[in-house]
A and B are shown apart, each in its own frame.
Chain A
Amino acid sequence: TQLLEQSPQFLSIQEGENLTVYCNSSSVFSSLQWYRQEPGEGPVLLVTVVTGGEVKKLKRLTFQFGDARKDSSLHITAAQTGDTGLYLCAGSQGAQKLVFGQGTRLTINP
């Protein structure tokens, strides 16, 4: 049973377009983190959201935590080829271990 469902699993769009990646669960999380992982490397932390309804911006990336703290979204504006990669959401239920989604593999075409 996948506790965190990411959608879509694969996304290929043209440079300059906007996109949204979703991370959904039926469980409540005390916090949720988004990571980006390059091939052959470890996940790199992008953001941590803690409060229901919280919105955080990181340049062209906007992260939102659902009001009920069960879901999150990542929106990228004017995608660039450098945004290509695997995006992972991970939730914590206060027990220090993270539960990961299966990832969204994003490809930005020039």
Chain B
Amino acid sequence: NAGVMQNPRHLVRRRGQEARLRCSPMKGHSHVYWYRQLPEEGLKFMVYLQKENIIDESGMPKERFSAEFPKEGPSILRIQQVVRGDSAAYFCASSPLVAVSPDTQYFGPGTRLTVL
């Protein structure tokens, strides 16, 4: 899964600041997913994107969170006006075309966000 790249690996923000997390999928993968992992918990789905389209954002908090996957460049998860409860590990995953290998997702190393 080294092919999925995320940066930064660690991000520290003060309450009220903005956090931008970036994800580059594996080569040839056109589907990107974002998950959040709170301490001592499993991963929770946030959003599923294809190039220039949000397919499923049912796991995204209604406010302050947004995601995009532009035609060129990495996928971005943006958190505005961060609060302490946003502190977590955020993982990006990618998968190839659904017809080739449904459901299998490969994860990046994650971004650990700490809100002071």
Q: How far is the CA of A53 from the CA of B41 in the complex (A)?
A: 28
Q: How far is the CA of A103 from the CA of B44 in the complex (A)?
A: 12
Q: How far is the CA of A100 from the CA of B36 in the complex (A)?
A: 11
Counting contact residues on chain A (CB < 8 A from B), the size range is 20 to 34
Counting contact residues on chain B (CB < 8 A from A), the size range is 20 to 34
Of all chain A residues, the one with the shortest Cβ separation from B109 is A42
Indicate if the CB atoms of A96 and B31 lie closer than 8 Å: yes
Indicate if the CB atoms of A31 and B103 lie closer than 8 Å: yes
A31, A96, A99, most chain B CB atoms within 10 A: A96
Indicate if the CB atoms of B41 and A43 lie closer than 8 Å: no
Of all chain A residues, the one with the shortest Cβ separation from B98 is A96
Indicate if the CB atoms of B109 and A97 lie closer than 8 Å: no
> A45: CB under 8 A from chain B?
yes
* 7 sample A-B contacts, Cβ–Cβ < 8 Å, listed by A number: A42-B108, A92-B103, A94-B102, A95-B56, A97-B56, A100-B42, A100-B44
